[in-house]
Structure 1
Amino acid sequence: MTQFARRIGCLLALALLCSAARAQCPPGDVLFNTQAEVDNFAATFPDCEDVQGVLGIFGSVTDLSPLATIRSVADALTVVPNELTTATFAGLQSIGGNVLVVAPELSSLNFPALVSVDGDVVVTTSPELTSLTAPMLTSISGDLFFELASLTALNLANLASVESITTTGNSLTSFSLPALVSIEEFGVFNTSALVSIDLRQVTSLDTFALSNNASLSSIDLRNLTSAALIFVSSNPMLGTCCFLASALQSADPANVTIADNAPGCSSIEEVLRICVAMAVPAVGGLGLLIIASLLVLLALRFRLGYLAN
């Protein structure tokens, strides 16, 4: 190799090394308390993509757009600012730990590219938050909890798996998770505007709980076949609970509560009587007698179960 070629090779290697250094994030956690720190970070690490620890947003941070190059966070994402009104993590695709968002001035939280979270997601104490979107998110390995009084828009259209979902006191009119297949626990409590829930792909649950939802009248759980614990109470507009019929036939009576809903879903016996009858086509007298006998046996099974406990 000529001396000239060696010099060219050294220059190319140096250029690649410099480029790689610019693309790297600093080691460990990346924490911001002021907007100046965010801006300086973007200037110092303009191509930072993979944060090796925690990414934390605190204090007086007001603009996250300089962090658009970040595509992964190895540990937790913590967003606890005082003044931030819109949070968009434009390039973020994966989070390796828990997500915590507590932001009193935040009105919009967006993850347009996020695909996976390896931990829990908790969004709470953010009274101004009206919109939460993560349209590409497919999996949360832990729990999803949100308590957001002003929330009117939720987009988790591709979420397929999560350990549990719990929400209380939001302003959604529709809670739709059409891609969700794998979930262990689902609970919705204390809503005034929520009319419908769509969990059409879910086949089994460990826990299903609905309580104190003033406007809830429609639930799509058409494929549900089993639920270990069922609690459906104080939903005054909910009069159709046939989505529970299959699960009720195999459930432990001690773990089922259906009460104080609209007529049609006011008791276990009522749900079984209405829904099993609806599922059977017109039959003759003998068929009706068999159906009636089955209904009596099912109702008696639940009644005896409650007395035993």
Structure 2
Amino acid sequence: MNKILQIVLLLVLSTIPGWSQTCSVPVFKTQAEVDNFSTNYPGCTVLGGVGIISTNITNLDGLRNVTRITGNLRIEHNPDLVSIAGLSSLEQLDGSLNIEDNDNLLTLAGLEKLVRPLQDISVVSNEKLTNITALSGVTRIMKSLSVGANPALTSLEGLHNVSKVFKAVSITQNDMIRDLNGLRRLKEVDYLWVGNNKNIKNLKGLARLESVNSNLEISGNSTLTGISELAQLKNANSTVITNNPLLSDCAVRIVCDKVKSGNIRVSGNAPGCATNDEVRLYAICNPQTLVRINAGGPAFTTATQKLFVADQYYAGIDRTSSIASGDILYTTNDVLYRSGRCSPSFSYNIPVINEVVNVTLHFAETYFGAPGKKGGAGSRQFNVDIEGSRKLTNYDIFAQAGGALRAVQLTIPVTVTDGMLNIDFLTGAADLPRVSAIEVTPAPLVPVADAMVNTGARKSENFSQRYYLSVVHLLNAGSNNNGNDLAYLKFQLPAKKAEITSAKLRLYTYNGVSKSVVDIHAYGVNDDSWTEQAITGNNAPAASTSSLGSMTVDNAPQYREIDVTSYVNAQRQSGDVLVSFVLDDPNKTGTRVIINSKEAGSNPPQLIYQTTPIVQTQNGTARVGQEEVVTEAQEKQFSTVYPNPVKDQFTISLSPEHAGPITFEMVNAAGKSYFISVNHNVKPGEKAEVNLGGKALSAGIYLLKVKSDALTEVVKVLVTE
């Protein structure tokens, strides 16, 4: 029996090749070596590291049995290679993939089964490579990714499942790639370099990127105009943004942060992103708690000296409307309400400090129901979303204001968490949305505690639940059993680093004596340990400062203010997040002042504050957008430019809404104007050929102003070299 088993074992062993299922072929140098692989290495499905480097290999069909490569796969310097489909059984590559300098390779078809994380992927200098979609199974790259110098590659589709690259990502010198959408799932890299890509217009595809652990570099991209897709990027160790000649807007959060810390180099880009200082001046890099915008109009100062800056921060369908005159009821600021932004869909994206803010929308119906105009209630109904939440549904200005040409305001508290206040105006049941002005102010702080104490016979009592606070100081309190009344207030300060530029204690007050006035002073109290439920005249902390300021109170109930900015900032700088005040009458008039407490149900005490003030756009600086002043009766047909981007010549198809002589003017981002002549006296509705030759316009974004007696239009034009 044992003899028979030995014979069988010998027969089995004699059929197994000496190299088993794994074989070593360091390099394939000829087509014959590829074609004869299965003959020379029968049963071999696993290769060690291998290189395919040859002057005559055209395909890899002889490698169809290979399922795994335990080392690196290098496909390099093969001028005749047209297909790697022979690798279609390859499921696992333990090392790196390098595909370089294969002049006639069109695609990477054959690598579809690769799904395990790879060490490195390098696809560079492949003259005719058009797509890399075969890499769609790859989800993580343990080292680096490099896609460069592939002049025919049109997109990065195929890398769309990669979520993390542990080292560098380099996308460089790919002349036909227009965006980075193929990287749309990428969340984390160590180093990111996007450089010298001639046709990348934007960074679409990087919207999910949250972390660049070391360096971020964006350089030499000749048509790149914006990097807004990096808005979600939270960290990068150092940043370089250089020599992108059309990049005029690079103020995203990560860039703003780096400008403040100095760990960034910005140079050689278009105006607006040409230097660190230019970026630093962007409003988005200086979020505020006070913003006022005259929607659809120029800067305007109200009768009470409130500045509403010229229309800005808007996006979407760009259309404004205005009336030249007309009395607007319920306001002394008629000019503010005569203009407005009005289109089927538009939004405002306003940089603000993360906190609760009050958004006040100003409206007036200037068309429907106005003298000589049709319509009325129900003619205009629209929706408003703020921070992605519906706040107004089918809002009707006419109905809310009680008629046309009447001002109406609506204040909505909103919590902002991402540094950007988003307000969306959307078409509702009838006609178009319209807004005249937008005001963003910090939501006033209400006391976390307020109470009254008595220093006389009732000094042991607690008065915390009263709906009012009392302040009275008698000339001879010591001989009067009633003693004095003092009011205490405590506020929780916002936990922000931005300096508070204004803080006012706002109190709803009056006194009960006809024709009498009394000055109530506020004093700082450094001891914040007092509580509303326990404070009495016996344990109330004493004032820690001299008078911070005062308010004059008569018998008219109304809000009055005391400026306490210096004390509030001093408390914050010391690290104190609570601030307390005590109110007294140091002149000892004996006149009692009543102050609404937070329990009053209306008009509570408030601490109103502002942080970094808004930076008004300088006069002469062009706003990149397209703006028309039109009536609201119907949608207009506007002029169009093609091709756009333009070089020396382009065609403009004129709106039929024009009337009379038409002029053309180009305005660059710095506000410099260039008057443009056309080849004949063009008429409304016609096409005009425009020749920029001789104007010596540098590459960049321009505003083409088209003016006539009936209409003014502004069309954004991108001029390339």
TM superposition score normalised by structure 2: 0.36
Partner of 2:197: 191
219-228 or 124-133, larger mean C-alpha shift: 124-133
80-89 or 39-48, larger mean C-alpha shift: 39-48
Q: 5+ unaligned residues in a row in structure 2: which ranges?
A: 288-349, 353-420, 422-439, 443-500, 503-607, 616-721
Q: Does 1:175 align with 2:183?
A: no
Partner of 1:153: 155
Q: Does 1:164 align with 2:163?
A: no
3-state SS of the aligned residue for 1:108?
A: coil
What's the CA shift string for 1:7-33, capped at 9, x where partnerless? 9x949x939x9589898132x334211
What's the CA shift string for 1:255-274, capped at 9, x where partnerless? 30123333443343443423
Given that 2:131 and 2:154 are in contact with CA atoms closer than 8 Å, whether structure 1 keeps it comes out as yes
1:58 pairs with one of 53, 56, 66: 53
3-state SS of the aligned residue for 2:611?
A: helix
Q: Does 1:211 align with 2:219?
A: yes
- Against the structure 1 CA distance between its residues 118 and 202, is the aligned structure 2 distance closer, same or farther, given a 3 Å change threshold? same
Code of the aligned partner of 2:50: L
Mapped to 2, the partners of 1:260 and 1:147 lie a distance apart of 23
Code of the aligned partner of 1:29: V
3-state SS of the aligned residue for 2:53?
A: strand
Alignment of 1:146-295 (within 5 A): 146-154=148-156, 155-162=158-165, 163-170=167-174, 171-176=176-181, 177-197=183-203, 198-205=205-212, 206-219=214-227, 220-243=229-252, 245-246=253-254, 248-249=256-257, 253-272=261-280, 273-276=282-285, 277=287, 278-280=350-352, 281=421, 282-283=440-441, 286=502, 289-292=610-613
Q: Does 1:67 align with 2:73?
A: no
Partner of 1:129: 129
Given that 1:58 and 1:82 are in contact with CA atoms closer than 8 Å, whether structure 2 keeps it comes out as no
Mapped to 2, the partners of 1:218 and 1:251 lie a distance apart of 17
**How far did 1:131 drift?**
2.0
3-state SS of the aligned residue for 1:186?
A: strand
- Against the structure 1 CA distance between its residues 102 and 94, is the aligned structure 2 distance closer, same or farther, given a 3 Å change threshold? farther
**How far did 1:65 drift?**
2.7
**How far did 1:2 drift?**
12
- Against the structure 1 CA distance between its residues 259 and 274, is the aligned structure 2 distance closer, same or farther, given a 3 Å change threshold? farther
Given that 1:264 and 1:274 are in contact with CA atoms closer than 8 Å, whether structure 2 keeps it comes out as no
- Against the structure 1 CA distance between its residues 49 and 249, is the aligned structure 2 distance closer, same or farther, given a 3 Å change threshold? same
What's the CA shift string for 1:184-220, capped at 9, x where partnerless? 1111111211123222222221111111212223432
Alignment of 1:26-175 (within 5 A): 26=23, 28-45=24-41, 47-51=43-47, 53-59=48-54, 60-80=56-76, 81-88=78-85, 89-100=87-98, 101-110=100-109, 111-116=111-116, 118-133=118-133, 134-145=135-146, 146-154=148-156, 155-162=158-165, 163-170=167-174, 171-175=176-180
Between the aligned residues of both structures, percent identity stands at 24
**How far did 1:148 drift?**
1.7
RMSD: 3.4
Given that 1:160 and 1:179 are in contact with CA atoms closer than 8 Å, whether structure 2 keeps it comes out as yes
Mapped to 1, the partners of 2:169 and 2:612 lie a distance apart of 37
Mapped to 1, the partners of 2:15 and 2:207 lie a distance apart of 52
**How far did 1:75 drift?**
1.2
- Against the structure 1 CA distance between its residues 63 and 246, is the aligned structure 2 distance closer, same or farther, given a 3 Å change threshold? closer
Given that 1:72 and 1:95 are in contact with CA atoms closer than 8 Å, whether structure 2 keeps it comes out as yes
**How far did 1:46 drift?**
5.9
- Against the structure 1 CA distance between its residues 91 and 221, is the aligned structure 2 distance closer, same or farther, given a 3 Å change threshold? farther
Mapped to 2, the partners of 1:258 and 1:117 lie a distance apart of 35
Given that 1:65 and 1:90 are in contact with CA atoms closer than 8 Å, whether structure 2 keeps it comes out as no
- Against the structure 1 CA distance between its residues 152 and 250, is the aligned structure 2 distance closer, same or farther, given a 3 Å change threshold? closer
- Against the structure 1 CA distance between its residues 267 and 289, is the aligned structure 2 distance closer, same or farther, given a 3 Å change threshold? farther
Mapped to 2, the partners of 1:54 and 1:2 lie a distance apart of 43
- Against the structure 1 CA distance between its residues 33 and 175, is the aligned structure 2 distance closer, same or farther, given a 3 Å change threshold? same
Runs of 4+ in 1 over 6 A off after TM superposition: 1-4, 19-23
**How far did 1:252 drift?**
7.2
Mapped to 1, the partners of 2:101 and 2:15 lie a distance apart of 38
Given that 2:101 and 2:127 are in contact with CA atoms closer than 8 Å, whether structure 1 keeps it comes out as no
Code of the aligned partner of 1:106: L
3-state SS of the aligned residue for 2:142?
A: strand
Mapped to 1, the partners of 2:250 and 2:258 lie a distance apart of 16
Mapped to 2, the partners of 1:208 and 1:237 lie a distance apart of 19
Mapped to 2, the partners of 1:218 and 1:18 lie a distance apart of 65
TM superposition score normalised by structure 1: 0.78
- Against the structure 1 CA distance between its residues 18 and 263, is the aligned structure 2 distance closer, same or farther, given a 3 Å change threshold? farther
3-state SS of the aligned residue for 1:166?
A: strand
- Against the structure 1 CA distance between its residues 247 and 46, is the aligned structure 2 distance closer, same or farther, given a 3 Å change threshold? farther
- Against the structure 1 CA distance between its residues 247 and 173, is the aligned structure 2 distance closer, same or farther, given a 3 Å change threshold? closer
Given that 1:22 and 1:46 are in contact with CA atoms closer than 8 Å, whether structure 2 keeps it comes out as no
Mapped to 1, the partners of 2:279 and 2:127 lie a distance apart of 37
What's the CA shift string for 1:16-72, capped at 9, x where partnerless? x9589898132x334211222112113444653321x21211212111133233232
- Against the structure 1 CA distance between its residues 279 and 104, is the aligned structure 2 distance closer, same or farther, given a 3 Å change threshold? same
Q: 5+ unaligned residues in a row in structure 1: which ranges?
A: 295-309
Mapped to 1, the partners of 2:16 and 2:284 lie a distance apart of 66
Code of the aligned partner of 2:149: E
- Against the structure 1 CA distance between its residues 77 and 2, is the aligned structure 2 distance closer, same or farther, given a 3 Å change threshold? closer
What's the CA shift string for 1:91-135, capped at 9, x where partnerless? 323323333323233222242122245533333332222222311
Given that 1:74 and 1:95 are in contact with CA atoms closer than 8 Å, whether structure 2 keeps it comes out as yes
- Count of residue correspondences: 288
Mapped to 2, the partners of 1:180 and 1:61 lie a distance apart of 35
Bigger Rg, which one: 2
3-state SS of the aligned residue for 2:66?
A: coil
Code of the aligned partner of 2:611: I
